[in-house]
């Protein structure tokens, strides 16, 4: 029995993102690098400028930026079902691993396990460095935009945190308005979103209704209280990743749903799995003492924390094509995209480089990974495999 032509793009999206969900280590910025390597360089689903515009848009929206980019890529390829397939495939592997950890399946211990974790940190250096190199060549082709990228690197390094990232991108956009005006570039429309402007406005209304309505409907200790806690955490954080941790701690530790030690243990396990850090919510929903708990609680927490960011993205995308064609918006995006390059450079240094490159051996392993990507044009999963095995080998060999 053969699949229908309509289902093939959805299956293609699911398979591509499932591989990434099993191999994309390193956090949200590394995930953006994986996406660029897979969908811009190798599969050519969209060009560099469209991808950079999409990254900048998701950086402006609350929610997990890398997961929002992945959801949008799936929608562009295969409509709303493609977006759902991309999110499911990218999220499921790490969510399942963290649920197993909550059930007591254990974690990576010993020299081999620690070496594997170190190798996975090293591969993030190679992947982010490769993304910085490629994006800088395409998005900073002149002195003005290169200067914006350098200034952005310095600014975000000085300010730090999510506020620093958002401020840097906003100032980069303003610099683009002042210094990067030029002729309007014809940009191909974003394909296959499958959501009308009316649908986008409905998504915005649903986002606000849940944000305002859940606190009024949720009784303490109820399933709706669990939904409300994780929905608010996903709705009030920019950039995603580690920034959501204080919100999650306030949501589940302070009410006594999850103990502080269990929270920290789950956070440590979340560092050892691929995919988005927001899947930490599945562990917390599984471990929570409030109802419903168990697998149902894990599923509710996982869906609730991702839902607000996806609703906001679906609200914005139907208006995105027309906005991208305007001269003023294009100038703003030139500056914002150069600032995104600067943000990647700063992240490449801290925390990616500083946490992974502990000496010459790790540097050599990162260089091997970078060569695999940049020179031999190997897929990202190959670099993950080589660096993971290399990390285990190095940890068994005395320095």
Residue range 314-363, pLDDT digits in tens: 999 998 877 877 888 889 888 988 988 888 888 788 877 988 899 999 99
Q: Is 4 helix (H, G, I), strand (E, B) or coil?
A: coil
Average pLDDT on 196-206 reads 94
Where is 216: in which H helix or E strand? helix 197-217
pLDDT, residue 74, reads 95
Average pLDDT on 151-158 reads 92
Percent of the chain with pLDDT over 90: 44
Integer Cα distance of 19 and 371 in angstroms = 21
Cis peptide before 292 (omega within 30 of 0): yes
Cβ-in-10-Å burial (0-12, 13-18, 19+) of 67 comes to: buried
pLDDT, residue 5, reads 47
Q: Is 397 helix (H, G, I), strand (E, B) or coil?
A: coil
Phi-psi region of 241 (alpha: psi -120 to 50; beta: other; left: phi over 0): left
Q: Is the pLDDT of residue 201 over 80?
A: yes
């Amino acid at each position: 029995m053969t699949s229908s032509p309509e289902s093939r793009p959805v299956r293609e999206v699911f398979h591509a993102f499932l591989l990434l969900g099993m191999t994309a280590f390193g956090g949200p910025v590394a995930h953006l690098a994986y996406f660029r390597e897979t969908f811009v360089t190798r599969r050519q689903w969209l060009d560099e400028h469209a991808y950079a515009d999409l990254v900048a848009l998701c950086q402006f929206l609350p929610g997990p930026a890398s997961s929002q980019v992945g959801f949008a890529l799936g929608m562009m390829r295969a409509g709303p079902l493609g977006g759902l397939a991309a999110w499911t495939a990218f999220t499921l592997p790490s969510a399942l691993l963290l649920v197993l950890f909550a059930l007591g399946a254990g974690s990576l211990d010993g020299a081999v396990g620690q070496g594997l974790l170190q190798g996975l940190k090293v591969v993030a250096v190679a992947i982010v460095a490769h993304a910085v190199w490629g994006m800088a060549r395409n998005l900073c082709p002149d002195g003005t935009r290169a200067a914006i990228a350098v200034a952005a690197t310095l600014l975000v390094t000085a300010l730090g945190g999510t506020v620093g990232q958002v401020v840097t991108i906003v100032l980069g956009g303003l610099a683009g308005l002042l210094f990067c005006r030029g002729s309007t570039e014809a940009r191909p429309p974003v394909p296959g979103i499958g959501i009308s402007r009316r649908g986008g406005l409905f998504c915005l209304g649903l986002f606000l209704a849940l944000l305002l309505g859940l606190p009024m409907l949720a009784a303490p200790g109820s399933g709706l209280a669990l939904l409300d806690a994780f929905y608010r955490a996903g709705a009030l954080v920019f950039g995603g990743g580690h920034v959501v941790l204080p919100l999650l701690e306030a949501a589940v530790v302070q009410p006594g749903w999850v103990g502080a030690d269990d929270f920290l243990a789950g956070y440590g396990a979340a560092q050892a799995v691929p995919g988005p850090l927001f899947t930490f919510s599945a562990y917390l929903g599984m471990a929570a003492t409030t109802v419903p708990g168990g697998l149902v609680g894990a599923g509710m927490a996982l869906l609730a924390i991702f839902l607000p960011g996806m609703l906001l993205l679906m609200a914005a995308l139907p208006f995105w094509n027309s906005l991208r064609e305007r001269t003023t918006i294009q100038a703003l995006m030139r500056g914002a995209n150069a600032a995104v390059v600067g943000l990647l450079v700063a992240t490449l240094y801290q925390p990616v480089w500083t946490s992974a490159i502990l000496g010459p051996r790790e540097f050599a392993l990162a260089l091997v990974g970078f060569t695999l990507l940049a020179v031999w044009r190997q897929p990202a999963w190959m670099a993950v495999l080589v660096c993971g095995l290399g990390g285990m080998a190095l940890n068994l060999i005395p320095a």
